[in-house]
Amino acid sequence: MKNTYKNKKVTIFGLGRTGLSLIDFFKNKKSNIRVIDFKNNPRYIDFVTRDIDVFLGENNNEIDNIIKSSDLLVISPGINIKLDKLNIARKLDIEILSDIDIFCKEISPLSNLIAVTGTNGKSTVVNLVYYMLKKHGLNVALGGNIGTPVLSLLNKKYDYYVLEMSSFQLENISNIFKTKTSSILNITQDHLDRHNNFEEYKNIKLKIFENSSNCIFNIDDINTYPLIKFNNSKYISFGQNKGDYFIKNINNNKFLFNKDENIINCSDIKINGMHNYINSLSSISITDTIGISRESQISVLKEFKGLNHRFQTISNKNNIEWINDSKSTNVDSTYIAVKNIINYKTLHLIIGGDKKSLDFSDLMKYLDSLKNIKIYCFGKDGEYIYNFIPEKSFLFETLKELFNFLIKNTKSGDVVLFSPGCSSLDQYKERGFEQRGDEFISLVNSIN
């Protein structure tokens, strides 16, 4: 493939993991690389070699001229496309791309790309898809929002690339992005601190269908329905009780179905809960589009234990169940987690962090309707949440402070659910929800 980036002045916006992968990529392409980050001391600054020009801080006077002299701007997912500085490039017709766009230009053929988005469940589904493809004997790469930047996947050739896509990534893509199969699991309010409103957030998610051969949507969630149907695309649905793929009750047992085909008894699926049965349906619908055998799919569903920090039982010490659901970063994920808990004397819900401009009123109304629930609020927006139901709630600054109070108020038969419903970046800036979940696990393990 011809190297079109050699000696080009490439300006990279954002010095996170994606920014580092962009630096490596353009180094190999022998580009003239410059990096811009508006933080004064970004986390990965020490990983940048001295031969790269780096411009830091919002008030750096050199940034405008660096943009004007660029042949290409590449923006990381954390960079908002509405950023005023990007208008300098637009006025000069300087090309602006994302790492996903560049990745799509590099891989061949494009027919081996699978993309999954949704407000909740993305990581679980892409992992299920990844393992189903591997079980079938294919050479598969997994990346995107889940941890490995896509350009880091170019070091080897794969049969299929499975990508988890966030709204931040989809916001930045162009029509270069084309997939064999794309799926939207669900769309509920999230990231309203970045996107102007829910409608904008939803439309960004729906971009994933624009150049996809197979479009898979949730028939129970009208927000996931494709805005436009293209003649050369196939449309496939899944849902709890209807759709091409659905769940059917037979003699008090739940089964996954594809039309008339009974695929598996839900009791045989390793990960429990209706949301995970829906995730399993989605993964089957995706892998069916590329001909993965039922044997491979069922084998994975029986073996896959789920991911850390996602409704994960940590301990049952003293007959008290401690559940780590630190990945819960929005209102809907907390609602789903609470609904999945049935048997308890008292439910102790730990919630809080940065609410990202989300509205908690419906969730709190639901929580107020429950009997025997206590709510423990912490973090940046803990007081906002506390004020909904102060008679059932307690307010703390940190998780550790909260925990020291909580362990004195639990008894046999209780369930403690750590499902914050908020971003973790107010207090856990290094590793986000993983760092937050690890602290919770450490606190639980410290109980005598």
- Chosen domain end from 93, 127, 156: 93
Order of strands, sheet of 321-324, starting from the edge strand that comes earlier in the sequence: 312-315, 321-324, 415-418, 347-352, 373-378, 393-395
Could you tell me where the beta strands, DSSP code E, fall in 170-270?
179-184, 212-218, 234-238, 245-250, 253-258, 261-265
Return the percentage of the chain with pLDDT > 90, whole number. 82
Confidence at residue 443, expressed as pLDDT on a 0 to 100 scale: 96
Q: What is the CATH number of the domain that holds 72?
A: 3.40.50.720
Q: What angle do CA 303, 308, 314 make, to 5 degrees?
A: 95
Q: What is the DSSP string of 327-352?
A: T--SHHHHHHHHHT----S-EEEEEE
59 in a structural domain: yes
Residue 2 has pLDDT above 80, yes or no: no
pLDDT for res 1: 64
Q: What is the dihedral of CA 327, 275, 167, 28, to 10 degrees?
A: 70
Q: What is the rounded average pLDDT of the residues 352-370?
A: 95
Over range 202-230, report the average pLDDT. Answer: 94
Q: Which segment, 98-107, 279-288, 314-323, 350-359, is predicted with the most confidence on average?
A: 279-288
Q: From 284, 270, 275, select the one nearest 183 (Cα to Cα).
A: 284
Q: Which pLDDT does position 109 carry in this prediction? A: 67
> What is the CATH classification number for the domain harbouring 107?
3.40.1190.10
Q: Name the E strands within 276-372.
A: 312-315, 321-324, 347-352
In a domain, 132, yes or no: yes
- The model carries a pTM of 0.90
Mean pLDDT of the chain, nearest integer: 94
2 inside domain: no
pLDDT at residue 12 tops 80? yes
Q: Residue 370 has which token pair?
A: 């429950």
Give the mean pLDDT of 335-359: 94
Residue 383 included in any domain: yes
Q: Are residues 142 and 41 in the same domain?
A: no
Catalytic residues: 122, 145, 191
Are 250 and 338 members of one domain?
Answer: no
The count of domains in the chain is 3
Q: Which of 250, 277, 303 is the last residue of a domain?
A: 303
Of residues 277 and 228, more confidence is placed in 277
Shared domain for 368 and 435, answered yes or no, is yes
Stronger pLDDT, 59 or 355, i.e. the higher one: 355
218 and 351 both lie in a single domain: no
Is residue 14 a contact partner of residue 78, using CB atoms and an 8 Å limit? yes
Across the range 190-197, mean pLDDT stands at 83
pLDDT of residue 310: 92
Whether 385 and 276 map to the same domain: the answer is no
**279 with 379, same domain?**
no
Instruction: Please state, in angstroms and rounded to a whole number, the distance separating the CA atoms of residues 448 and 431.
Output: 28
For residue 119, being part of any structural domain is answered with: yes
Do 353 and 433 share a domain, yes or no? yes
The tens digit of pLDDT for each residue in 128-163 reads: 999 999 999 999 999 999 879 999 999 899 999 999
Q: What is the CATH number of the domain that holds 416?
A: 3.90.190.20
User: What does the pLDDT read at residue 15?
Assistant: 92
Provide the token pair at 91: 């006025």
Query: Would you say residue 108 lies in a domain?
Result: yes
User: pLDDT for 66-109, tens place per residue?
Assistant: 999 999 999 999 888 888 999 999 999 999 999 999 999 998 76
- Which residues are CB-neighbours of 442 under 8 A, at least 6 positions away? none
User: What's the Rg (C-alpha) of the chain?
Assistant: 23
Residues 296 and 150 in one domain: yes
Residues 108 and 242 in one domain: yes
219 found inside a domain: yes
Residue 375 is predicted with a pLDDT of 98
Q: What is the pLDDT of residue 50?
A: 86
Give the model's pLDDT for residue 193. 81
- Please tell me the predicted confidence (pLDDT) of residue 191: 82
Q: Of 73, 70, 115, 64, nearest to 97 (Cα)?
A: 73
Domain that holds residue 68: 9-93
The domain boundary residue, chosen from 283, 303, 323: 303
Q: Is 252 left (phi over 0), alpha (psi -120 to 50) or beta?
A: left
At residue 64 the predicted structure's pLDDT band, cuts being 50, 70 and 90, is: very high
Is the pLDDT at 228 greater than 90, yes or no? no
**Domain annotation covers residue 157:** yes
- Same structural domain for residues 45 and 152? no
Give me 257's structure tokens: 């179905």
Same domain, 123 and 243: yes
Largest separation between any pair of C-alpha atoms in the chain? 70
Q: Residue 16 phi/psi, 5° resolution?
A: -105, -155
163 with 70, same domain?
Answer: no
| pLDDT score at 192 | 79
Mean pLDDT of 24-48: 92
Integer Cα distance of 224 and 76 in angstroms: 25
Which of 134-138, 172-176, 182-186, 304-308 has the least mean pLDDT? 172-176
